[in-house]
Amino acid sequence: MAKRAKIWIGVAIAFIVIAVAVLLIGPRVYAQWANSNTAPAPTLSATGEVTDEMASYTGTITVTDGSTAGYQVDEVLQGQDVTVRGSTDQVTGTLDIESGTLESAEITVDMASVETDSSNRDSYFRDTALETDTYPTATFVLTTPVELEAGMTTATLSGDITVHGVTQAVTFDAQVAMDDDQVEIVGSIPITFEDFGVTAPDLGFVSVEDTGSIEVDLFLAERD
């Protein structure tokens, strides 16, 4: 009996050691795996600079196929940081240019269609955090004209961004490039959830940082 008791004690200790290892190492392994599979931040695919023609252009260019927008946040899983990105191609908008000056712009994103790698996470952000039934879209409206200069690769954009029915003024730097007659704009807008009436999720074992960013990769061209 004593020998059998020692065996069971040994098994119990081994089980406890394994359980503790899973609790301590599991989140780290998951975080490493998740971060290695996180979609990369948007980057320019166009390689040309703003042309002389665009620097004197007058007209309207429209968001076209290939454009995406979404968000980036950091989750904390039992002390391990995990970067999460969600995106959608349901993006519309126009930029009005007068003699090479970007006079106005409005971009609209269908927030209900933003997806990450987790349907459960998407449901929470869509239904609870962003309440997309009530606030289905996010918008950016330019408030300060921007002069388009030949050869430029970055532009500082100032405007009003509306998320969750709340509007805040923002300023951010965007990358600008051209291929043929198509303009590409890539930018990241830092946000604090609380500023937009959104409570960052905290489920105990996993929480979300209260800051993140809205990311855009826009392709624009004249409408046929």
Sign, CA torsion 195/201/204/205: negative
Give residue 60's domain range: 42-221
Residue 22: how many CB atoms within 10 A of its CB? 11
| Residue 34 pLDDT level (bands cut at 50, 70, 90) | very low
- 126, 131, 69, 221: CA torsion to nearest 10: 130
More confident residue, 202 or 103: 103
Q: Are residues 138 and 165 in the same domain?
A: yes
> 24 and 105 in one domain?
no
28 and 53 in a single domain? The answer is: no
In this predicted model, what pLDDT tens digit does every residue of 84-100 receive, in sequence order? 899 999 999 999 999 99
Q: Is 206 in a helix, a strand, or coil?
A: strand
Predicted confidence band at 15 (pLDDT cuts at 50, 70, 90)? Answer: very low
The DSSP string of 144-180 is: S-EE--TT--EEEEEEEEEETTEEEEEEEEEEEEEET
More reliable by pLDDT, 133 or 206: 133
Tokens of 51: 């042309």
- Number of domains present in the structure of the chain: 2
What is residue 30's DSSP assignment?
H
Asked whether residue 50 falls in the same domain as residue 5, the answer is no
Q: Do both 58 and 119 map to the same domain? A: yes
Interatomic CA distance for residues 170 and 167, integer angstroms: 10
Same domain, 108 and 203: yes
Backbone angles phi, psi at 207, to 5 degrees: -135, 165
Average pLDDT, the chain: 84
Where residue 61 sits, what CATH number does that domain have?
2.40.128.110
Q: Is the pLDDT of residue 30 over 60?
A: no
Asked whether residue 1 falls in the same domain as residue 25, the answer is: yes
pLDDT of residue 201: 72
Q: Are 13 and 110 in the same domain?
A: no
- Of 2-11, 107-116, 161-170, least confident by mean pLDDT is 2-11
Asked if residue 7 and residue 107 are part of one domain, the reply reads no
Alpha helices, DSSP H, located in the chain: 2-37, 119-123
140-193 pLDDT tens trace: 999 999 999 999 999 999 999 999 999 999 999 999 999 988 999 999 999 999
Q: Are residues 109 and 23 in the same domain?
A: no
More confident residue, 53 or 38: 53
Pair (180, 107) in one structural domain: yes
If asked whether residues 149 and 189 sit together in one domain, one would say: yes
| Spatial separation of the C-alpha atoms in residues 138 and 106, rounded to whole Å | 11
Q: What pLDDT, in 10s, does the model give residues 187-224?
A: 999 999 999 999 877 766 667 888 999 999 999 999 86
Q: What is the distance between the alpha carbons of residues 27 and 25, in angstroms, rounded to a whole number?
A: 6
Report the percentage of the chain scoring pLDDT > 70: 79
Q: What per-residue confidence (pLDDT) applies to 37?
A: 53
* Average confidence (pLDDT) over 37-47: 81
